[in-house]
Each structure stands twice: as C-alpha cells, then as structure tokens.
Structure 1
Amino acid sequence: MAAPADMTAANISGKFVVRPGRPQNKEQSEKNDEILKNQGVSWMARKAATVATPHLTIKHYKDASGVEHIEVEQAVAGNMLSEHRVLDSSQKTIDSPLMGKLVQQNRRVAAGELEVEWLKQGWLAESFVDGAIIHVTADSGAGKGDGKWHMEQVVGGQKKYVRRIHCVGQKGEVVHGCLVYDYEGPL
C-alpha cells in the first residue's frame, strides 16, 4: 500500500513492511541478496532474508535543537533490531549484529551533490525537504565479511519507504539495488 498523499520526507513516521511473497514488493525491490553478499553476509542469513517479512516502525522527529532523528525498530521473526540515526553529518561507529562494526554518517544532502548517478534518480518532489534528501553512508572495516565495503542509501520516493542502495564490495564490485516497503499505517 502506498503512503498517504500528505506524507513527505519531512516526517516519515509510520509502520512499513516488505512482503517477499507479494508481487509488487518482489518486483520493486532489487538485488537485496547481491548487496548482502557484497557486505559479507553468510549464505544462510541471506536465504533467511529472502523469506523473512520485516516490519519497520519509524519515528522521525526533531530534537529541541532542531536536529532530525530517525528511530527505526525492525521486527523480523520475533527478533527486534533498532537503528537510531541522527541527521547531523557526523561520523559514528556502530555495532551491527549482522555486519559487525560500521562507520556511519547520516545527513540531508542536495541530490546534485551525490557522486553516484543511481542515487540521484527516481525521487518524488515529496522526497526532498528544503531541496535535500536523506543520505546514509556505512563503511566496514575487516569485520564479519573479512573485507572492506562501502554502502550509500537515500530514502524516499514512490510514496513508499524506499531505500536506494549503492554498495561497493570487498573487491570493488558495485551493486545498485533498492528495498521497497509498503506503508502499513501511522504510529
């Protein structure tokens, strides 16, 4: 289901889901397995991801200083994973249960400032706030995949929660893909 017409990237709070068995999610999401493989995720974990139904609860708000925060609770098969992203452009080291230690940066950026053409494409006007989209980078060291990789994501588009992904693997291989989440309802 598409998000409400009045929802914009100024506030993406809501509940979202990827249903692997639903034709529209399967056709719209692209190359998730290849991206996870580039990140050194095991074959078993990647196969589990293809049949899982992740549910996201997203709380998007500004703190007293006006800095944006995006809190994501992801429930998959009874397991809960949490992400707290602060869109302040600072680099932070996080520990991902799936991918090990990552250096992550979260910010808003004008699409024209992105180096990767793939990440600039396919956005609705509602994906932008003051001319900028949400941009996330994650870099690994020699973590669980025993190699370094880099990933960039931009969020928005299609009146669904969409993550467009540019992933550079351990040997320089590049994969472009996206994850498309259906809107389930408000918080």
Structure 2
Amino acid sequence: MSVPATINFNDPSVTVKVTLKQNKDLSSAVDDVLKVQGVSWIVRNALKLAPITLKLQFFTDTEGLVRLDIEQLLPAGAKSEEPRILDNEERARVSSVFGPVVARSEFTTADEAAKISPFLAQGWDADAKLIFAYAKGDLSQPKSYEWESFQTFGFTDIEVDEGKFERKYVVRLYFTSKSLKEPLTKRLVYDFVELGV
C-alpha cells in the first residue's frame, strides 16, 4: 500500500507515527550483510521467510532533540529497537540483534549522500529531506564484529509494476567490512500499514 503524502520528515515539529511492513518482492536480500554482522543462522533464516514490520516515530522530544525511533518486529516475536537522535553525535549502545554498535544520525540530501556512495543518492528527489545513519561494530566491546553501515532513509515513489508507481518508505544501504571483497549495496522497501504505532 502507498504511503500517504502527508507522512514525511520535512517538519520536526510535526510528530509522525506510522507502521510499515517490508515488501519482500521489492527489497534486496540481506543475508550476506547480516552474516558479517554476526546475526545467528536461525534469525537470518527466519528473516528470509517473513517480512519485518517497522513501528516508526519521528518527533522532537522534550529536550528539543529531533528523533527517529524505529522498532523492528522480527519473525518469531523477536524485536530490535533503533533509537536515533538526529544531531550527528556518535553514541554507543548494545543492539539485541547486532550486539555492541556505535552510531550517529542526521538530516542529509541526496547530493551529500552521493559523496559517500552514489548508490545512497539514487532514487531520491533532489529536494527530498532524507535521514542519514552511520553505524559500525563497537570493537572496544566483547562479542563485536567489524563492519560499517551507511544508510539513507526517506519516502519516494517506487515502480511496483510496469508503469505503476507507489510511494514507499525506502532504506538504501552501503555496507563495508574488511571481510568483504567489495562493499555491498542494498535497497529495502516498506509498504504503508497504518498510522500510529
């Protein structure tokens, strides 16, 4: 289902709460990424079978910080929380799926994202307000894996059938690790489910 045009990241003073579901047909397979990140075989195979549901909240908190908080509901009742403060400050945390990570997030444009990788800039309108997220395994902590993730998030029109376009929530991923021969690029596409979380 198409995401309503009223849902966007344009105005941080307007709270957005939306539930989305991964469109497996339009999304890249990410097993190779998850394997490098140390995600277990059981979880990786469950993700191959069932789509992820996202509960997304975009808002300004009581301290004036702009946030994008994402709860990922995984198969078999598992879930992962990704709290993001859009101030480009690095913060360390322990993810229930990825283990110890260091991450930062901020607003960006397609032109800025293209400086990291042209892939991150593909498919966005020139004036689209995007969110950029960087994360890496926190090698200062035990049970951590070496990897770096660069992502752009936003809403854009995707061709869902020949000549038919729908507005979707899209994540573009540029992923690197010393264990890979070359970087991996992935596109994840999510359908609108409902307003609220």
TM-score by length of 1: 0.83
Q: Secondary structure at the match of 1:27?
A: coil
Aligned to 2:72: 74
Contact 1:39 1:145 (C-alpha < 8 Å) held by counterparts: no
For residues 148 and 55 of structure 1, what CA distance do their matches in structure 2 show? 27
- 1:146 Cα shift? 5.8
Q: Does 1:138 align with 2:135?
A: yes
Query: Any gaps of 5 or more consecutive residues in structure 2?
Result: 158-166
Contact 1:154 1:163 (C-alpha < 8 Å) held by counterparts: yes
- 1:183 Cα shift? 0.5
Q: Secondary structure at the match of 2:25?
A: helix
Write the deviation string for residues 103-127 of structure 1: whole angstroms up to 9, x where unpaired. Answer: 1011112322232110011013674
- 1:61 Cα shift? 0.6
Write the deviation string for residues 45-81 of structure 1: whole angstroms up to 9, x where unpaired. Answer: 2111111332211111113454311122222232333
Find 1:175's aligned residue among 180, 184, 197: 184
Aligned to 1:160: 168
Q: Which amino acid aligns with 1:30?
A: S
Task: Label 1:120 to 1:78 Cα distance change in 2 as closer, same or farther (>3 A).
Answer: same
- 1:33 Cα shift? 1.4
Aligned to 1:108: 107
Q: Secondary structure at the match of 2:2?
A: coil
- 1:36 Cα shift? 1.2
For residues 14 and 57 of structure 1, what CA distance do their matches in structure 2 show? 6
Contact 2:70 2:81 (C-alpha < 8 Å) held by counterparts: yes
Aligned to 1:96: 95
Aligned to 2:162: none
TM-score by length of 2: 0.79
For residues 175 and 5 of structure 1, what CA distance do their matches in structure 2 show? 30
Task: Label 1:100 to 1:146 Cα distance change in 2 as closer, same or farther (>3 A).
Answer: closer
Contact 1:165 1:178 (C-alpha < 8 Å) held by counterparts: yes
Q: Secondary structure at the match of 1:108?
A: strand
Identity %: 29
Aligned to 1:21: none
Contact 1:8 1:126 (C-alpha < 8 Å) held by counterparts: no
Query: Any gaps of 5 or more consecutive residues in structure 1?
Result: 19-24
Task: Label 1:107 to 1:80 Cα distance change in 2 as closer, same or farther (>3 A).
Answer: same
Q: 1 or 2, which has the higher strand percentage?
A: 2
RMSD of aligned C-alpha atoms?
Answer: 2.2
Aligned to 1:84: 83
- 1:87 Cα shift? 0.4
Greater relative contact order (CA < 8 Å, ≥ 6 in sequence): 1
Task: Label 1:42 to 1:80 Cα distance change in 2 as closer, same or farther (>3 A).
Answer: closer
Write the deviation string for residues 147-174 of structure 1: whole angstroms up to 9, x where unpaired. Answer: 4110011101232121110110232431
Contact 2:132 2:151 (C-alpha < 8 Å) held by counterparts: yes
Contact 2:24 2:51 (C-alpha < 8 Å) held by counterparts: no
Q: Which amino acid aligns with 1:169?
A: S
